[in-house]
Amino acid sequence: MGDDETMKKEALQIIGLFQNLPRLVVFDLDYTLWPFYCEFYYEDDTPYLYPEATGILYALKEKGIDMAIASRSPTPNIAKTFLDKLGIQSMFVAQETFSSWTHKTDHFQRIHRKTGVPYSSMLFFDDEDRNIEAVSTMGVISILVGNGVNLAALRNGLLQFSQCSGSSSSS
């Protein structure tokens, strides 16, 4: 638990560096929050997150930044079970996890309808180029992660978000 607390403190420091923050941070699941494809597991398996992900989630929550999930999976039931087992399911204001071979833009349209958050106020993390490219065209700042969500990806995402939203900020 000490590592999660350390990561949370570091994530809070990173978040504190930026004045313009996203209203909603959206995460993919497979190879973004956790290092596996959940369809290769069973509901009674024990899931785990990337080492820095838990601290980042708790830091965003503490800062009052809403979070959502946009994940394509042939086994959405296993994904939901894993979120439950990890004790983080309630942290997400929207969970768009469904078996679909359409673009991830469908997930974002649903998230937008549910939350009312404009695309320009969202930050997205995913491990697939094609998803980053598709969602970016909607006006969402999208960050490609190579080794899951970590502090460097968070810093990069907040920096890009801040740079893109700085001139058009309205509160």
Of the residues 30, 66, 126, 127, only one is catalytic, namely: 30
Q: H or E segment at 78?
A: helix 76-85
3 belongs to the catalytic site: no
28 belongs to the catalytic site: yes
Of the residues 28, 66, 126, 127, only one is catalytic, namely: 28
Whole-number Cα distances in Å, 145 to 34, 64, 87:
12, 23, 23
Q: Amino acid letter at 29?
A: L
Phi, psi at 19, each rounded to 5° = -90, -40
Separation of alpha carbons 141 and 143, rounded Å: 7
Length of the chain: 171
CA 58 to chain CA centroid, nearest Å: 12
For 24, half-sphere exposure in the C-beta direction (CA atoms, 13 angstrom radius) is 22
- Going across the sheet that includes 66-72, the strands are 92-98, 66-72, 24-27, 122-126, 141-144
Residue 40: Cβ within 10 Å count = 10
Catalytic positions, written as ranges: 28, 30
